Amino acid sequence: MAKNWYPIINEEDCIECGKCIERCKKGVYDNTKTVATVIQPDNCSFRCECCSALCPVGAISYYSEPTLFSIVKGSCGH
């Protein structure tokens, strides 16, 4: 997995809207699926919160060493 930052998808909450997949230009997600699937966690930019900010149901949190924490929805500064 990524060194210190990557998205974690709560598959039970995900409504498969695809907003995170469309927004991410780093190839973190598998763009051949409708459900958000992280395939390249190392490509995620440290502290990038764009996909979380776009998720209408809050199904995206992030792993960050040494803690796991959720990002509060807000504006994407990237």
Q: Per residue in 25-56, pLDDT tens?
A: 999 999 998 889 999 999 999 888 899 999 99
- Does the pLDDT of residue 59 top 80, yes or no? yes
Kindly state the average pLDDT of the residues 6-35. 93
- Predicted model pTM: 0.75
6-69: CATH topology is: Alpha-Beta Plaits (3.30.70)
What confidence score (pLDDT) does residue 3 get? Answer: 66
User: What is the residue extent of each domain of the chain?
Assistant: 6-69
| Longest CA span, the chain | 31
* Cβ-proximal residues to 76 (8 Å cutoff; 6+ apart), any chain: 23, 49, 50, 53, 54
